[in-house]
Copies of this chain bind each other. A is one copy, B any other.
């Protein structure tokens, strides 16, 4: 139970943190800062928002848990902005999709005063914005918690416990390891979905009218927010490039096997892919 959870710049994820924390009784007081005054006004009417603040500094002053929820490229600047205003010993976390730089700068900005522990809940929706928030968004979802070697272990454990109490399955990894993992399992799939769409759009856009379930599924995430993904590409450029180049080699292997009519090799690849996919954990 926190005395005050402050949530800064809530969108879908920040709003859902507020709703889930209220639903599970994890905070006496929930305070929210949003950049736009009309959003603050709208939030004041919500049962999961006890007060709004007019500035990040005012929002964080009395909080023992601070959740930073702006776009990924705004997290480090926001951490710097609140650094002189957080209560001593407060926990600060975020919900950004990339962790190494944010964790390094967050730790440096708060060092000696409060604890920065990065988080990345693997939850999202095509419907963004706090209006689409849900108290169950994190239930049964993986949430990465990414302490650095110099992070206070007790602080990391308290952040992990918070996400568990919101229903998430917490995976604790170092920030660099996190960024390598998501480059492969999240950012590379986005690049492929986007590229399949730009490819087909250039080739013959009308073919989309013939799309079956396979193309629909494979390209669904191409409809994600370009600004959000631009920021992710920028923040995780090196890991994504590495994953992308290795994937290109794997794809060239498929292409070469097909060019060589090596149907044994192609069948082996189809079977390995099927086996891998079938071992995904079923969704609850």
> What chain B residues lie within 8 Å of A229 (beta carbons)?
270
A244 within 8 A of B: yes
B273 and A195 contacting across the interface, CB-CB below 8 Å? yes
Q: For residue A237, which residue of chain B has the nearest CB?
A: B258
**Across the interface, do A226 and B274 meet the contact criterion of CB distance under 8 Å?**
yes
Whether A271 contacts B217 by the Cβ 8 Å rule is no
Q: What is the interface size of chain A, counting residues whose CB is below 8 A from a CB of the partner?
A: 87
Interface flag for A200 (CB, 8 Å):
yes
Task: Give the docked Cα–Cα distance between A197 and B192 (Å).
Answer: 13
| Stretch of A44-52, A154-162, A181-189 that contacts chain B | A181-189
A151 contacts the other chain (Cβ, under 8 Å)? no
Selected from B192, B212, B226, B233, the residue in CB contact (under 8 A) with A186 is: B212
Closest chain-B Cβ to A271's Cβ sits at a distance in Å of 5
Q: Are B189 and A218 in contact (CB under 8 A)?
A: yes
Check if A193 is an interface residue, CB within 8 A of chain B: yes
Given A209-B281, A214-B221, 18 more A-B residue pairs with CB atoms under 8 Å apart are: A142-B209, A184-B207, A185-B215, A186-B215, A194-B273, A195-B269, A197-B272, A197-B276, A198-B272, A213-B221, A216-B283, A219-B273, A225-B274, A233-B263, A234-B263, A244-B255, A244-B258, A245-B255
Chain B residues closer than 8 Å to A122, beta-carbon distance: 210, 212
- Asked if residues B277 and A220 are in contact (CB atoms below 8 Å), the reply is yes
A217 CB contact (under 8 Å) in B185, B197, B217, B272: B217
Give the Cβ gap from A244 to chain B, nearest Cβ, in Å. 5
A123 within 8 A of B: yes
Within the assembled complex, what's the spacing in Å between the Cα atoms of A216 and B279? 11
- Interface residue? A230 (CB, 8 A): yes
Complex: chain B residue closest to A126, CB-CB = B213
Interface contact B247-A218, CB-CB below 8 Å = no
A241:B259 contact, CB within 8 angstroms: yes
Q: In the complex the two chains form, is A258's CB within 8 Å of B240's CB?
A: yes
A221 touches B222 (CB 8 A): no
Contact partner, A270, options B186, B210, B220, B230, Cβ 8 Å: B230
User: What are the interface flags for A246-280 relative to B under an 8 Å C-beta threshold, 1 for contact and 0 otherwise?
Assistant: 11101110110011010100110111111111111
For A186, the chain B residues whose CB sits under 8 A away are 212, 214-215
Of chain B, the residue at the smallest CB distance from A216 is B280
The residue that A274 contacts in the complex, of B189, B223, B255, B273, with Cβ under 8 A, is B223
Chain B residues with CB below 8 A from A279, complex form: 205, 208
User: Within the complex, which residue of B215, B237, B246, B261 is in contact with A189, where a contact is CB–CB below 8 Å?
Assistant: B215
Are B250's CB and A198's CB within 8 A? yes
Q: A191 within 8 Å of B by Cβ?
A: yes
